[in-house]
Amino acid sequence: MRKLLRSIVASPPRILVLGFAAIIFLGAGLLMLPFSHLQGAAPRFIDALFTATSATCVTGLVVVDTGTYWTTAGQIIILAMIQIGGLGFMTMSTLFAIMLKRRISLKERLVLQEALNQSSVEGIIRLVRKVVVYSLTIELTGAILFAIRFMFDMPVGEAIYKGVFHAVSFFNNAGFDIMGDYRSLVDYVGDPLVNVVTMLLIILGGLGFVVLADLVEIRNPKRKLSLHSKVVLSMSGFLIVAGAAVILLFEFTNARTMGPLGFGEKIFAAFMQSVSPRTAGVNSVDVGALRQATQFIIVILMFIGASPGSTGGGIKTTTFTALVGAVSAMIRGKEDVVLFRYRLAQERVYKALTVTLFAFGLVILVTMILSTTEDHGFLMILFEVTSAFGTVGLSMGLTAQLTVAGKIIIILMMFIGRLGPLTLTYALGPKQGRALYRNAEGKIIIG
């Protein structure tokens, strides 16, 4: 029995899968308790499980309104799951081990390496310290700014509580809000402070902790941005600006979304709707009222997602950049993919292609399955599935109407999206040995 258990949790990917699953079921159990929900409104287990998965996988899809259905205790449980899910349970456990001055074993370092998507264990404990310090500093700053703004609209205690909740939720790209009636930030669509702070929290959470560390240490004249940071920053900036421009173009005259807004409010709304699909799930206009072209653009942004080692999901900006680089190299007749004068190893391009095709196939398959279980339009279902896979949390209104089968499928998609399809494949699949030979080269006609 002991050997069996040891073999089940032998690899870092399996530890991550089991760890996240344990947190989800524990959170669901806590949400079922009487103090977590309003009297007379006990949730079904599937709804508690859905909420716990969405919080732990920092998604933001909800089957009940977070601000009105759950009590303060229930909301704090959700917030704790968001924080653990965003930073990673191994990061949190390592933090406690450091505080207790306990030695971190090699196996724990290997799990951290997998969780933080690093290429080696060198400097992994220093990175964990940075992750915690950066996260708490950014969340505290966001909470203070939110609380100051909310004090103009509500009592001081409520403003501080909502400031903390939304700062943690938005930095971890979770998208949960407690504004009530599924409103998210619709009431603050033109508010400069709320919009800027929200977007900065989402962007900083989605860049990845390695990039944040690079940016903090760039003040040192001897330090230069790594290739990874350059790729993440350039592609993230391009997607935000290009996405905002396209959304503004399509929605400028839409009477149900941006049409009635002033020009400045339209700019804020366009950028918010461009930043949010990068796995945050915050909206300042009604997503269901957007034009179909805009909704499809958001599907693409959600599929790409955030960056490696961040609190977000999706195939990641670096994966998308590698694919674009490969296409560009092929068109120009070049053999190598070159980014910022650095050549990418062929295995990196293969991995980018594998992740993208795996994710694309998974999204299409689940969309087709949900199209048979849910009586809704194809685009609405595709939007929901992509949002779950990218751990985004945006919805066109389908989440609350899902059947039990639909909820189970979306739960699995959120779980896969948070861990990453390759991590789950490595965890569940047998360990492959190194090939002892290479096959003879063959040729096929492409294109």
Closest among 203, 292, 198, 314 to 247, alpha carbons compared: 292
- Alpha-carbon torsion angle 177, 180, 183, 188, nearest 10: -80
**pLDDT beyond 70 at 132:** yes
User: Which of 92 and 141 is assigned the larger pLDDT?
Assistant: 141
Total residue count of the chain as it appears in this document:
447
- Region 247-270: mean pLDDT is 91
The CA-based diameter of the chain, rounded to the nearest angstrom, is 73
The pLDDT assigned to 228 comes to 86
Query: Which residue type does 435 have?
Result: A
Cα-to-chain-centroid distance, residue 119: 21
Tokens of 242: 């290009």
Q: What is the pTM of this model?
A: 0.86
User: Which of 27 and 184 is assigned the larger pLDDT?
Assistant: 27
Q: Which of 144-148, 302-306, 430-434 has the lowest mean pLDDT?
A: 430-434
Tokens of 191: 């508010």
Residue with tokens 């294109």: 447
Q: Are 206 and 307 in contact (CB under 8 A)?
A: yes
Could you read off the pLDDT of 137-161 as tens digits, one per residue? 999 999 999 999 999 988 999 999 9
**pLDDT beyond 70 at 365:** yes
Q: Which of 83-87, 127-131, 271-275 has the lowest mean pLDDT?
A: 127-131
**pLDDT beyond 90 at 205:** no
Q: How many angstroms separate the CA atoms of 105 and 242, rounded?
A: 45
| pLDDT confidence bin for 1, thresholds 50/70/90 | very low
Q: Are 56 and 23 in contact (CB under 8 A)?
A: yes
User: Which of 105 and 66 is assigned the larger pLDDT?
Assistant: 66
- Region 346-361: mean pLDDT is 89
CA distances (Å), 291 to each of 92, 271, 294, 295, in order?
A: 41, 16, 5, 6
The pLDDT assigned to 237 comes to 93
- Region 2-19: mean pLDDT is 59
% of residues, the chain, pLDDT over 70 = 82
Q: Which of 50-54, 152-156, 306-310 has the lowest mean pLDDT?
A: 306-310
The pLDDT assigned to 320 comes to 93
Question: Kind and range of the H or E element at 318?
Answer: helix 317-331
**pLDDT beyond 90 at 226:** no
- The whole-chain average pLDDT of the chain stands at 83
Q: How many angstroms separate the CA atoms of 18 and 23, rounded?
A: 9
**pLDDT beyond 50 at 5:** no
The pLDDT assigned to 251 comes to 92
Question: Residue 67: CB partners within 8 Å, gap ≥ 6?
Answer: 75, 177, 178, 179, 180, 181
Could you read off the pLDDT of 288-300 as tens digits, one per residue? 899 999 999 999 9
- Region 321-328: mean pLDDT is 92
Q: How many angstroms separate the CA atoms of 373 and 375, rounded?
A: 7
Residue-wise over 373-408: b if at least 16 C-beta within 10 A, else e? ebebeeebbbbbbbbbbbbbbbbbebbeebeeebbe
The pLDDT assigned to 7 comes to 47
Measured at the alpha carbon of residue 130, what is the angle toward residues 128 and 133, in degrees to the nearest 5? 110
Could you read off the pLDDT of 375-406 as tens digits, one per residue? 898 999 999 999 999 989 888 889 888 999 99
Query: Which residue type does 413 have?
Result: M
The pLDDT assigned to 8 comes to 45
First vs last Cα of the chain: how many Å apart? 53
Q: Are 23 and 78 in contact (CB under 8 A)?
A: no
Query: Which residue type does 418 have?
Result: R
Closest among 157, 163, 159 to 143, alpha carbons compared: 163
Q: List residues bridging with 338 in a β-sheet.
A: 343
The pLDDT assigned to 347 comes to 86
- Region 42-71: mean pLDDT is 89
